[in-house]
Structure 1
Amino acid sequence: MVGKRESFEVLACRDGRWTIETSSASQADAEAFARKVLNGQGVSGVKVVREVARGDTARETVVFEQTRELRDSGKIFVNDIDEAPYCETVEEIYAARGRQTLNRLFRAYLDKNGVTATEVMHDFRELRRLVDADSLMASGVGKVATLQAKGRDDTDTGKRRDVLYGFLDEITVRARSASEKKLPSIRAEGFEAAVARLVASASPDQCDYLLRVMVARELVQQRSFFGKLAQTMDWAEPAQDDRTRVLVDTFTSDILANAETLQDLLGLQPTLGAALGSLIDLAQGRFENESEGRPDDSPEVLAGRLNAMLGLDALPDSRAMLVDRVRRQLEAKSPLSKGEPEQETEAFRALIDKLMPTDDLFGGGAIAEALTHRQSRILNKGGVAGLKEATGRLLPAFADPARKAGYLLALTESRLVDSIGDEISQQLESLFIRPESVKQIVKDNRPPNKKMQTLTTVVHKVRGSGLDDRMKSRIADRLDELLASYIVDDRILERVDDPSRPLHVRAFMLLSMCTPEMLPEGKASQLARKIVVKHLKRPNFETELVADVPPAEKERVLRDFHVQLYRCGFMQ
C-alpha cells in the first residue's frame, strides 16, 4: 500500500505571474506565510495549494487565497545587492563584474524600459533618462557606497559616494561626447562591415569604447530582450577576431541578466532544481532541447545557438552572468523541489553532480560558497557554526577525494574563507594529512593506477591553490610519502616491471608512472624513474626494446618511446 504525501505550496502573484515562494508541511504555517507575503511590494495575490501525492500521481487543491488591489504609482525602486566590486577606475565599471552589479541594482528599471546596463552607459539619451528617473541614481550610489565602505579603514560611505559620483560624471562626459560622433550604422552596413570601418578609422585608445557605442545605438532600438539576444547571436556566430567576440559577449551577458529571457530559453521547468540544472547545462554548452523543425526565431532554436557558443568558450562574460544567477538562486530560500525533504536533498545532490562532474567545481569559489549556504539551510542552522557544519556535511556528496579537495579549495577562494577558514583547513587535514595510507583516503576498489592518479590530482590542485605555502607543503609532502609507501608496500613497480612481459610493454608502463598525471614530482616518482634509468643504461637497450615488436612497427614504437621519454623529462 503506497502512503500519501501531503505538502502545501505558497504562491504569490506579481505582474500577473504566479511563482512559488515556499512550501510547508503544515497548512497553518503556509497560510501564515502567505499573509506576510501579501504585504510585500508588488504582490497582488497569494494562494496556498495543497498537494496530495500517492505513488506517481498527485492532486492539487487551492485551500487558501487572498488578493488585494495595487495602486500603480509607477515608481521603480533600486534592488538590494549583497556585493559590489570595489572599482578603482571607471573602466572596471564597464567590465564584467561592474556590469553584473549594475544589472542587479537597476534590474526593475532596466526590465521596464527594455534596456541593458551597457546600453545605458553608452547611449547618452538612455543615460540621461536613468539619471533623471526620480531618486534611482542617488539610491543606487548610496547602496553601493555603503556596501563598499563597510569594514574598510581607508574610506567611509561619504568618501566612497563622492568617488562613485565622479565615475558617473566620467561615464556621462564620455557618452555625451560619443553622441556627437557620426559612427557607422550596423543596420545600414551590416555588423561585420560596420565594425571593420570603425576599427579602421578610430584611434586605438577610443576604438573599443566607440564599438560599444555603435552596438548600443543599434540594440537600444530593440526593446525586447529576446529580440536583442537573437540579434547578438546573429553577430556572434560569424565573429572571428577577439575584439568582435568580446564586443558581442559584453552585450549578450547583459541580456542574460533578464530573468524572463532565461525562462523563455529554458522552457517550462517543473521545479527550481530542474531550472537550475538546465541553466548549468546551458552555461557549460550541454543544454539539450527539441529544436528540430522549430522556426528560426523560436526560443528553442535560439537556446541551441547560444548553447553552441557557450560550449565553444566564446562567451566568457555571458557564462559568468549565468553562473552568478545560479549562485544567487542556490543561496536563496526557495525550495529546489516540491514535496518531502528527501526530494529536496536529492535535487541538491543532482545539482552538485552537474556542477562538479569531475574534480573541478564549475563556478569556483562563488558556487562553493552558494552550495555551503544551501546546505546550511537544509540543516536549518545559521551563522558561522551552521556554515562550518554544512561544510563537513557536504563532503560525502562529492564522494571522490579529488572532488572533495576541489570543493574545499574552491571555498578558500570565496568570501567564506575569513569566517570558516579554520574549518576548511581542518577538513583538508582530516582528509589528506591524518590518514596512514593511500587506501584510507581512496577507499573504493579502483585499480592502483587510478588510486595514484586520484592523489596526484589532489597534489596538483593543492599546489595550484591559494592555500598558504606551509599548508600546501604539508599536504603535498604527506601525499607524496603515502604514494611512495603504497608503491613499495604493494610492490607496484615489481608488478609493472614483470620480466615475463615483453620489454617494450614494461617500458611504456614504467614511463606512464613518470608522467605528471600519475605521480607528482617527489619521492614516489623517483622510485619509478630510477628503474627507467636502470633500463636505459642497459647495453643495446633500444634493440632489446623492440625485439618482440613486429618489424613494421619497430620504428613507430621507438619514436613513441622517445616522445614519452621527452614528456617525462628524461631527455631535457
Structure 2
Amino acid sequence: MVADRASFEVQVSKDGRWATETIVYKEDEARALAKKLLADKKCEGAKIVRNWLRGDGTMVESEIFCETRTVKDDGPIRIVPIDSIPDEKCETPDDFMGDGARNVVNRVFRNYLDKQFLTPTELMHSYKELKRLQEKDSLVPSAVDRVAQLQTKDGEQDAKSRGQEIFKSIDDISARARRVESLKLPKLDGSFSEMMAKIAAMGESEDRDYLAMVVLSRDLMNVRNWVGKLERLCNLAVADSDPHALEMLDGVIADVLGSNVVQDVLGWQPGLGAAIIAMFDLAAGKMKVQKSDAGESAEVLNRLFAENKLPVSRAGLLDRAHRQIRSPNPLNRTEPEKEGEEFKRLMMRTLTPTGFASGAETAEALTTRFTRLVEQGGSAGRKAAMESLFRTLPDRAFGLIYLCDMLTTPYGEEHAATISELLGFVFRSRALAEFCDRTLPPKDRMMRATNAHRAAMASQFPAETKTQLAEHIDGILERYLIDEQIVEKLDHHESPLRDRAVRLVQFCAAGVLPEGKAMTRARQRILGLLRMPNFDAHFIDGFTDPMRAQKALRDFHQLLVKAGFG
C-alpha cells in the first residue's frame, strides 16, 4: 500500500541537538506525539521528519513540522571563575567589543551563554538579551568584580574604581543597543558584504560595522543550536570575498568556537590528549573530518582554516587548547599509566619546523602540564619539569628554541639559573648530528639549526650570550659543510656550469644557513664561478633560442639577489 511507504520520525531538541524520540507510520499520530512532548515545559523543541520510500528504494526526507523555544530556567547560574585575561584594559565600549574582550565574555559567562545559545556578539548587540543577562541572578556584578580584581592585582588601580569603569561601559553598550533596537535594517539574504553595502546606502548616523553586527546577531538568534550557528557563519564566510566582511565573520566564528560546539566538530575522541591534538589539527586546517559530528560545517571550517582565512578563530581555538593543556584533567583517563606517553604524543604534535605552534604560550602550557608528571611540587617541581621537558624534546636545536621561549614566561624569571645550566647542553653539542636529530635529511638538519640560530638572536638572552650561541651554531654548520663536502657536491665539476651555479645559488637562497662563516663559505664558491671570464656566455651555452637564453639569465640574476648577492 502507498501508506506503507511513509514513516514519520519524531525528534526532540536537547542542549541544541536533535535526537529521534520515536518513529510512527501515521501523520496525525506523529503530530499528537509532538504536541504532547511540547506540553512539557522543559522540552526545548520538537519536529517531525517525513520519510518517503520511493519506488527505486531510495528514501526522501522532508521536515513537515518544527517548533523550538527557550526553556525557562529559574535555577541559579554562576560565572566561570577565570584566572587570566588580556593584559590591555578596555577603555571604551568599542574596546569591550574587540576580540580579546569577547573571548573573556565567552569564558566568564559560559554557563549562561550555553543555556541561551548566545554568542557574545549577539549578547552585546541585542538590548533585550543584554537586559535579560543583567537581570539574571548576580551574574554581571560577579563577572565585573572578577575581571576588575584580575586587572588591578598589580596595584596600579583599586578594584572598586575599575569595576565602576566597566559598569559605565556596559551601560553605554546597552544604551547603544537600545537606540537601534527598533531600527529597520536589511535582512541577511545574500552575502555579508552585500548586506553591509545596503546599510551604507541607508545613510544612518550609526557606524556601518556596528549595524552589520546587529543584523548578523538578529539572524543568528533565530538559530537555537551551536552547530546551526557555525554552519550559517561558515557558509557566509565561504561565500564572501570581501576581506573586511571576512574579518568580521571571523570574530563571530571565534565566539561560536568558544562554546561546546568544538566537541561536535572534533567528534568522539578517546581522551583529552587526543582532543587537544585534534584542536591543533583543526587550527592548521588538517583535521580528519570523518569523525566529526558537525557534518559539512566541519569540512567548511577545516577548509577556511587551511586557507588562513580565520586568524582570530585560530587564535581562540589554540587559546582553548592551551588552557586544556594546563588543566589538571588527565590526558588519558582510561589508562593513567600511559599519561607520559600521551604527553609526548601531544608535545610532538605542537612542534613545527620553526618551533612550538604558538611559541612561548605553547612552551609554557606544556611545562605546566609536565609539573604533574614529576614528583616534586612548587618551585622545585617547576624546575624539574623544565629540565625533563628539555630532555624530552627531539634534539638540542628544539631544546634551545624551548629555552628562548621560556625566558619570556614567568618560568624564565623564576628559573633563570636553570635555563643557563641547560644552555650548557647546547654548547656541548659539537657536531650537527649532536645538535639536530641525525635521522633528518641534510637540508632539514641545516634548516633546524638555522631556525635555532634565529630564535637565539631574537631571544631575551643577554647580548653576549646571543653572540656566543650564534657563533657556536654557525661553527657547527661550517664544520658540517666541510666534513660532508656539501658545497663540493653541489659544484660538481662534471656538471654544466649553469647547473652548478644554479644549485649553489639556490642553496644560499633556501634559508638553510644563517649569516656567518658557513654562508660565507658557500658564497665564496659562487663568487669564484661568477668571476670566471665570460661567465654569462658560458651560462647560456647550449641555448638555441635567444629569448630563452635571456630569460634564463634574468631568472638567475633574480635568484642571486634573493641569495643576498645584491
Alpha-carbon distance between aligned partners in 1 of 2:148 and 2:132, rounded to the nearest angstrom? 22
Q: How does 1:401-480 map to 2 (within 5 A)?
A: 401-427=396-422, 429-442=423-436, 444=438, 446=440, 448-465=442-459, 467=461, 469-480=463-474
1:355-389 CA distance string (max 9 Å, x none): 22433322333222211111111224332322222
Alpha-carbon distance between aligned partners in 2 of 1:123 and 1:466, rounded to the nearest angstrom? 46
Q: Is the alpha carbon distance of 1:233 and 1:489 closer, same or farther for their aligned partners in structure 2, counting shifts above 3 Å?
A: closer
Aligned residue among 378, 393, 401 for 1:398: 393
Aligned residue among 510, 515, 527 for 2:504: 510
1:58-99 CA distance string (max 9 Å, x none): xxxxxxxxxxxxxx9701111111101231423332222211
Aligned residue among 337, 348, 352 for 1:353: 348
Instruction: Give the secondary-structure state (helix, strand or coil) at the position aligned to 1:170.
Output: helix
1:133 maps to: 136
Alpha-carbon distance between aligned partners in 2 of 1:79 and 1:286, rounded to the nearest angstrom? 31
Deviation of the 1:457 alpha carbon: 1.9
Aligned residue among 159, 162, 186 for 1:160: 162
1:265-295 CA distance string (max 9 Å, x none): 222222222222222211211111338xx9x
2:145 maps to: 142
Q: Which deviates more, 220-229 or 511-520? A: 511-520
Alpha-carbon distance between aligned partners in 1 of 2:276 and 2:239, rounded to the nearest angstrom? 29
**Which amino acid is 1:410 matched to?**
D
Given the alignment of the two structures, is residue 123 of structure 1 paired with residue 117 of structure 2, yes or no?
A: no
Alpha-carbon distance between aligned partners in 2 of 1:441 and 1:410, rounded to the nearest angstrom? 18
1:141·1:161 contact (CA, 8 Å) conserved in 2? yes
1:256·1:262 contact (CA, 8 Å) conserved in 2? yes
Alpha-carbon distance between aligned partners in 2 of 1:406 and 1:172, rounded to the nearest angstrom? 47
Aligned residue among 320, 323, 342 for 1:325: 320
Q: Which deviates more, 348-357 or 325-334? A: 348-357
**Which amino acid is 1:283 matched to?**
A
Unaligned runs of 5+ in 1: 1-14, 16-71
Alpha-carbon distance between aligned partners in 1 of 2:407 and 2:454, rounded to the nearest angstrom? 16
Given the alignment of the two structures, is residue 370 of structure 1 paired with residue 365 of structure 2, yes or no?
A: yes
TM-score scaled by length of structure 2: 0.79
**Which amino acid is 2:478 matched to?**
A
Alpha-carbon distance between aligned partners in 2 of 1:326 and 1:235, rounded to the nearest angstrom? 26
Given the alignment of the two structures, is residue 388 of structure 1 paired with residue 389 of structure 2, yes or no?
A: no
1:401·1:454 contact (CA, 8 Å) conserved in 2? no
2:529·2:535 contact (CA, 8 Å) conserved in 1? yes
Q: Is the alpha carbon distance of 1:242 and 1:379 closer, same or farther for their aligned partners in structure 2, counting shifts above 3 Å?
A: same
Deviation of the 1:145 alpha carbon: 1.1
1:79·1:105 contact (CA, 8 Å) conserved in 2? yes
**Which amino acid is 1:113 matched to?**
Q
Q: Which deviates more, 441-450 or 96-105? A: 441-450
Q: Is the alpha carbon distance of 1:199 and 1:346 closer, same or farther for their aligned partners in structure 2, counting shifts above 3 Å?
A: farther
2:195·2:212 contact (CA, 8 Å) conserved in 1? no
2:300 maps to: 305
Instruction: Give the secondary-structure state (helix, strand or coil) at the position aligned to 2:508.
Output: coil
2:359·2:405 contact (CA, 8 Å) conserved in 1? yes
1:211·1:247 contact (CA, 8 Å) conserved in 2? no
**Which amino acid is 1:264 matched to?**
D
Alpha-carbon distance between aligned partners in 1 of 2:305 and 2:384, rounded to the nearest angstrom? 35
Alpha-carbon distance between aligned partners in 2 of 1:79 and 1:272, rounded to the nearest angstrom? 20
Alpha-carbon distance between aligned partners in 2 of 1:538 and 1:348, rounded to the nearest angstrom? 56
1:200-238 CA distance string (max 9 Å, x none): 445798222222122112212323222211211221111
Given the alignment of the two structures, is residue 97 of structure 1 paired with residue 133 of structure 2, yes or no?
A: no
Q: Which deviates more, 418-427 or 261-270? A: 418-427
Q: Is the alpha carbon distance of 1:541 and 1:529 closer, same or farther for their aligned partners in structure 2, counting shifts above 3 Å?
A: same
Q: Is the alpha carbon distance of 1:332 and 1:76 closer, same or farther for their aligned partners in structure 2, counting shifts above 3 Å?
A: same
2:265 maps to: 265
Deviation of the 1:325 alpha carbon: 1.7
Q: How does 1:60-99 map to 2 (within 5 A)?
A: 74-85=75-86, 86-90=88-92, 91-99=94-102
1:526 maps to: 520
Aligned residue among 472, 476, 486 for 1:482: 476
**Which amino acid is 2:556 matched to?**
F
Unaligned runs of 5+ in 2: 1-14, 16-72
2:508·2:522 contact (CA, 8 Å) conserved in 1? yes
2:174 maps to: 172
Alpha-carbon distance between aligned partners in 1 of 2:513 and 2:193, rounded to the nearest angstrom? 49
1:211 maps to: 212
1:429-471 CA distance string (max 9 Å, x none): 2354444444432362656544433222222233344555554
TM-score scaled by length of structure 1: 0.78
Alpha-carbon distance between aligned partners in 2 of 1:190 and 1:484, rounded to the nearest angstrom? 56
Alpha-carbon distance between aligned partners in 2 of 1:365 and 1:529, rounded to the nearest angstrom? 34
Instruction: Give the secondary-structure state (helix, strand or coil) at the position aligned to 2:231.
Output: helix
2:230 maps to: 229
1:285·1:311 contact (CA, 8 Å) conserved in 2? yes
Deviation of the 1:560 alpha carbon: 3.9
2:351·2:357 contact (CA, 8 Å) conserved in 1? yes
1:320-354 CA distance string (max 9 Å, x none): 22112211211112211144455222222222222
Q: Percent identity?
A: 33
Instruction: Give the secondary-structure state (helix, strand or coil) at the position aligned to 2:356.
Output: coil
Q: How does 1:170-209 map to 2 (within 5 A)?
A: 170-186=172-188, 191-201=192-202, 206-209=207-210
Q: Is the alpha carbon distance of 1:88 and 1:300 closer, same or farther for their aligned partners in structure 2, counting shifts above 3 Å?
A: closer
What CA RMSD, in Å, does the superposition of the two structures yield over aligned residues? Answer: 3.0
**Which amino acid is 2:118 matched to?**
V
Q: Which deviates more, 250-259 or 442-451? A: 442-451
Q: Which deviates more, 394-403 or 101-110? A: 394-403
Instruction: Give the secondary-structure state (helix, strand or coil) at the position aligned to 1:363.
Output: coil
2:395·2:437 contact (CA, 8 Å) conserved in 1? no
Deviation of the 1:555 alpha carbon: 5.4
2:192·2:245 contact (CA, 8 Å) conserved in 1? no
1:14-50 CA distance string (max 9 Å, x none): x9xxxxxxxxxxxxxxxxxxxxxxxxxxxxxxxxxxx
Given the alignment of the two structures, is residue 248 of structure 1 paired with residue 255 of structure 2, yes or no?
A: no
Q: How many residues align?
A: 492
Alpha-carbon distance between aligned partners in 2 of 1:129 and 1:445, rounded to the nearest angstrom? 61
Alpha-carbon distance between aligned partners in 2 of 1:410 and 1:177, rounded to the nearest angstrom? 47
Q: Which deviates more, 166-175 or 239-248? A: 166-175
